[in-house]
Amino acid sequence: MGSGRDWTWFHRLGSPRWFYETTGRWLPLLWAVTLALLVVGLVWGLLYAPQDAKQGNSFRIIYLHVPVSFLALAGYYIMAIAGAVGLIWKMKLSYMVMKSAAPLGAALTFLALFTGAVWGKPTWGTYWVWDARITSMLILLFLYLGVLALQYAFHSQDTGNKASAMLALVGTVNIPIIYKSVDWWYTLHQPATIKLTSAPSMHPDMFKPLLVMILAMYCFYALVLILNTRVEILQRERKTGWVRDLARQADTGPDNQ
- Closest distance of CB 165 from another protein, Å: 9
Q: What are the C-alpha distances in Å from 56 to residues 111, 122, 203, 231?
A: 22, 11, 14, 43
**CA dist., res. 198 & res. 185, Å (int):** 21
Smaller CB distance to another protein: residue 33 or 192?
Answer: 192
In the stretch 2-41, what mask flags binding to another protein with x, by CB under 8 A? x--x-x----------------------------------
Q: Is 170 in the site for another protein (CB under 8 A)?
A: yes
Q: Is 62 in the site for another protein (CB under 8 A)?
A: yes
CB atoms within 10 A of CB 175: 18
Q: Is 77 in the site for another protein (CB under 8 A)?
A: no
**CA dist., res. 168 & res. 83, Å (int):** 7
User: Applying CB under 8 A, which of residues 8, 25, 28, 53 lies at the interface with another protein?
Assistant: 53
Residue 38, C-beta contacts closer than 8 angstroms, at least 6 positions apart? 213, 216, 220
Smaller CB distance to another protein: residue 190 or 235?
Answer: 190
Tell me how far apart the terminal alpha carbons of the chain are, to the nearest angstrom: 43
DSSP state of 20: H
Footprint on this chain of another protein (rule: CB under 8 A): 1-2, 5, 7, 50-55, 59, 62, 84, 87-89, 122-126, 129, 166, 169-170, 172-174, 177, 184-186, 188, 190-193, 201-203, 205-206
